[in-house]
Structures are given as structure tokens and as C-alpha cells.
Amino acid sequence: MFAEMLSLVDEGDLLVFNNTRVIPARLLGKKETGGQVEVLIERLLDTHTALAHVRASKAPKPGATLLLEDAVTVTVTGRQEALFELRFEHDTPALTLLEEYGHMPLPPYIDRPDETTDKERYQTVYNQKPGAVAAPTAGLHFDDAIMAALKQKGVNTAFVTLHVGAGTFQPVRVDNILEHKMHAEYAEVPQSVADAVIATKAAGKRVIAVGTTSVRSLESAAVAAEASDKAILPFYADTDIFIYPGFKFKVVDAMFTNFHLPESTLMMLISAFAGRDNVMEAYKQAIEKEYRFFSYGDSMFIEGAQSEDQSTRNIDVRE
């Protein structure tokens, strides 16, 4: 049971969570011509505009109007590479319209329509800041009872924000990973979190990331601090950090993470942290024991001192 994770953390350790909230970002509807269209909001730019993926038999041009869910009217105002710029033609803020009419954007490998229960089930209990189109799934294992038990044990907690985009599901399609173009996502690492990281390190305790999004947030803040005399600084910006084998982790000492899709950047991240051989052995064990993979699946804990070959890292696989 996941509650056994309490035996893996110690008093004074710092668990860092991603407090993003998944928005009902998927809207179905029609173009003015009557053709079917599906919109997946990638990012809200302000109260009435957004960047989105648009699926249609023919890509809409700037100026085109889309009627979504028989209630929401948007105008295509431009395009940024694969994403379309949309303007919501309502006085009501776009986020409010999405909360009322939108569908939860379940991962592409979940082959069923979204259900009412997904609006809460596909959220962490500590979600706070709306903006993600995919859940930081390692956090789905933590319920209120576990959060209370962590506090009682003296384990410290901190919260970063990374609004997970649809690009998190995209595989690496190039032979040379250096040619892979990483998707950008907005991240926030507040001053309080940077201070907590520094204090934890000074006390000889561990910084434990809950999920790869927390890892990417913390390591982005560390990379941004390289020109300073600090190990980590506050961070409020887009990040397209691509962590693959050879990356030197500056902040994260251990992590909780789910089982990821093959050929994904997330698989490369955990391979960079634990070593590919260790990861493959853990996945082999998980398959043999019929663990669940991906978003609603089981979890693993990776810990240990970083070394050149990551051979000292330990992976604990739990249901």
C-alpha cells in the first residue's frame, strides 16, 4: 500500500509537491462551415485568450469562429507553430467557461470518455493553482491522511507550480535526443521554497520531489541560479528543461514517480536520475507483479547518492 511510503521518509526531509490544478480544457463543437472540431486548451494567456490544439478536418484560419459545446464562441486570432491563438467572445472569463462546459483532458492512453468523477479524481488533494491540462500524477497517491501523517512525523512540505502541458505525453521521435525540441511549461518556485531547499541541505536532510514536474521545477530554478552564489533562486518563468542521462542534479536527492511511457522524456528523466539499467530492472519487477502503469497507476521511490554510473541508487516499487 502507498501509505507505507512513510517508512521511506525521515524527520526533517523536505517533500516538494506540484500544486497545479487541472482545468477542464477539452471542448467539442463545430466550425461555421459545420465541420466537427475538437479544442484542447494548452495555456490560458489572460482572462479571455488562450493557446490551444485544434483538431479538425481542415485547420481553421485566423478570423474563423468556432462554436463549442453549443454555448462557447471562440475566434481564431492567429497561430504559433502547432498551437492556435483563440479569443473567447464572452464577458465571462475563459476559465469560468471551461469549468462549466469543458471536459477533463484525460491522457491519450485512457480509452474512455471523461466522467464527472474525473474532475476531482484527476486532481491532487493539494491542488491550488488552475492551469494544467494533465495531472502531476505522482501526487495522486497522496491523500489527506498521508499528508497529515507526514506532518506528524516531522517531514516538511513545500509547493511549487508547474502547469503541465499536453506535450508531456509526446514521445521523442528523433534518433539523436539532442535534436528533440522540448515543450515549454510555466513554472513557479517561490522564495519560500528556495529557502526551504537551502535549509534542508544545510541540515543534511533530503529534498524529495513528488513527481517529475516537481523535479523539473526545482532543477530549472537551480540552473537559473548558476550565475549567482546561490544553489537555487526563486523562479517564475517558462521552462523547457530537458533532463536526460548525463544531467547533473543539483537539488533533488530522491523522488516519487509513476511508471512512464516508453520513449518519453519522462522515462529519460528517471533514467538520468537512477541509471537506465536500474530503471529497466524496476520496470521488469513491476511487470512481473502486474503493477499498474501510467496516470492512474502505481508508484516508485528512487533514492541514493548520485554517482557517475548511478549504481548506488535504490528504486523501491510500491503499489
* Ranges of each domain in the chain: 2-22+121-318, 26-103
pLDDT band at 301 (very low <50, low <70, confident <90, very high): very high
Distance CA 147, CA 176 (A): 41
The larger pLDDT score, comparing residue 303 to residue 8, is at 8
pLDDT of residue 121: 85
Among 105-114, 133-142, 167-176, 248-257, the least confident range: 167-176
pLDDT of residue 304: 64
User: Is pLDDT at 136 greater than 60 in this prediction?
Assistant: yes
Q: At CA 11, angle to CA 9 and CA 14, rounded to 5?
A: 70
pLDDT of residue 65: 97
pLDDT band at 172 (very low <50, low <70, confident <90, very high): low
Residues 2-12 have a mean pLDDT of 91
Residues 185-214 have a mean pLDDT of 97
Distance CA 84, CA 74 (A): 11
- Report the share of the chain in percent with pLDDT over 90: 66
Q: At CA 184, angle to CA 181 and CA 188, rounded to 5?
A: 150
Cell numbers that stand for 108 in this block:
491519450
Average pLDDT, the chain: 89
| Cβ-Cβ contacts under 8 Å for 19 (sequence gap 6 or more) | 124, 126, 127, 128, 129, 159, 160, 161
Q: What pairs with residue 301 in β-bridges?
A: 256, 316
Task: Give the CATH number of domain 2-22+121-318.
Answer: 3.40.1780.10
User: Is pLDDT at 289 greater than 80 in this prediction?
Assistant: no
Q: How many Cβ atoms from other residues are within 10 Å of residue 152's Cβ?
A: 9
pLDDT of residue 173: 66
Give, in words, the CATH class of 26-103: mainly beta
Among 50-64, 91-105, 163-177, 219-233, the least confident range: 163-177
> Are β-strands 254-258 and 207-210 bridged in parallel, bridged antiparallel, or unpaired?
parallel
Q: What is the pLDDT of residues 305-318, one digit of tens each?
A: 444 445 445 656 55
pLDDT of residue 307: 43
pTM of the model: 0.89
Among 59-73, 184-198, 261-275, the least confident range: 261-275
pLDDT of residue 261: 67
List own/partner pairs for 190-194 with CB under 8 A and 24 or more apart: 190/160, 190/234, 191/234, 192/158, 193/16, 193/158, 193/159, 193/160, 193/234, 194/221, 194/230, 194/232, 194/233, 194/234
Label residues 32-53 b or e (16+ Cβ within 10 Å = b): eeeeebebbbbbbeeebbbbbb
User: Is pLDDT at 42 greater than 70 in this prediction?
Assistant: yes
User: Is pLDDT at 163 greater than 60 in this prediction?
Assistant: yes
> Are β-strands 299-303 and 254-258 bridged in parallel, bridged antiparallel, or unpaired?
antiparallel
187, 238 contact by CB (below 8 A): yes
Give the residue carrying C-alpha cell 503493477.
291
pLDDT of residue 308: 45
* Sign of the C-alpha dihedral computed for residues 126, 301, 224 and 264 taken in this order: negative
